[in-house]
Amino acid sequence: MKLATYTTNGQTRTGIVVGERIVESGVAGAMIDLIRDWGAHRPGLEEKAAQGGGVPLSSVKLEAPVQRPGKIFAIGLNYADHIAESKAETPPNQVWFTKAQTSINGPYDPILIAKTGSFVDYEVELVAVIGKGGRNISKTDAHRHVFGYCVGNDVTERMWQHRTPQWSLGKSFDTHAPIGPWVSTADEIVDPHALGLRCFVNGEKRQDSSSKHLVFNIWDQIEHLSQAMTLEPGDLIFTGTPGGVGVAMDPRQFLKPGDMVRCEVDALGHIEGVLAAED
């Protein structure tokens, strides 16, 4: 099932994407509420999806499917080609940073270049959405804790990222975590470790890889994070980006106003946003 957050007639609600149409879920609250009580809501949503109806997708505005996640964690240096282009060693331990809630952005909304940070780069990522919460989750059980997946762009301000050892500020500028276009529930994805992912800038392919190349796979990531903290419904995990980022090009290629960045992941759809200077 594909679950979206959308706005129509000034109201934001959750819905089920069926082909080129969206059917209102009828569930009160935000996507996190739907995820938290998924067992109770699922039968009714499946029935609604089967009945069809709804309105054309083109008539609504798709929002970030999870708008206020409790936690957003992202792993760095998790594809071999990205490690090589970064002139780094393969990390013996997982390298994690956070992105602020306020960095969340809609799947087709503008991406801002801040007045204080113009060295903006793209990073296509597969994003896992936590469903069943937990602590000290084993890698063998980790798949049971994933509600679904979506496409993400870990937009990064490189100067802010690299001027300190801590990356979180450079990763947390407003609008620098576009996600979507919806959440595809885990049962729709046969193998999350066999999904192609690509990024295009103004139609030019910059990144092209597969989640099979993850250094630490998604189950490893969930096991590791949950040793430190309780994972909760709606938490987001950005699982890593492959090689091809702008900062590693010669000469380096940072994004500028008017550039269009499109990120896509097999079976999950695509997101795209135009870069705009902060007013």
Q: What DSSP designation does 59 have?
A: G
Give 109-149 pLDDT, tens digit per residue.
Answer: 999 999 999 999 999 999 999 999 999 999 999 999 999 99
Residue in the block written with tokens 């959440």: 183
Q: Taking the CA of residue 174 as centre, how many other CA atoms within 13 Å lie in the half-sphere pointing to its CB?
A: 10
Angstrom CA distances, 195 to 75, 80, 145, 213, stand at 18, 16, 19, 10
Residue 206 has what pLDDT? 98
Which 3 state secondary structure label does DSSP give 110?
coil
Q: Are 14 and 30 in contact (CB under 8 A)?
A: yes
> Distance between CA atoms of 179 and 263, rounded to whole angstroms?
10
pLDDT surpasses 90 at 256: yes
> Distance between CA atoms of 63 and 45, rounded to whole angstroms?
20
pTM score > 0.95 for this model?
yes
Residue 279 has what pLDDT? 87
Q: Are 8 and 61 in contact (CB under 8 A)?
A: yes
**Rounded average pLDDT over 155-170:** 96
Nearest to 104 by CA among 74, 138, 139: 74
User: 31 is written with which tokens?
Assistant: 């996507």
Amino acid at 59: S
Residue 34 has what pLDDT? 97
Give 50-94 pLDDT, tens digit per residue.
Answer: 998 999 999 999 999 999 999 999 999 999 999 999 989 999 999
Residue 87 has what pLDDT? 87
Average pLDDT of the chain to the nearest whole number: 97
Residue in the block written with tokens 């969930």: 222
User: 165 is written with which tokens?
Assistant: 């050892």
User: 250 is written with which tokens?
Assistant: 């010669």
Residue 137 has what pLDDT? 98
User: What are the backbone dihedrals phi and psi of residue 95, each rounded to the nearest 5 degrees, phi first?
Assistant: -105, 115
Which 3 state secondary structure label does DSSP give 61?
strand
Strand-pair category, 72-76 with 95-98: antiparallel
> Distance between CA atoms of 108 and 111, rounded to whole angstroms?
9
Instruction: List the chain domain ranges.
Output: 2-63, 72-277
72-277 under CATH 3.90.850.10, yes or no: yes
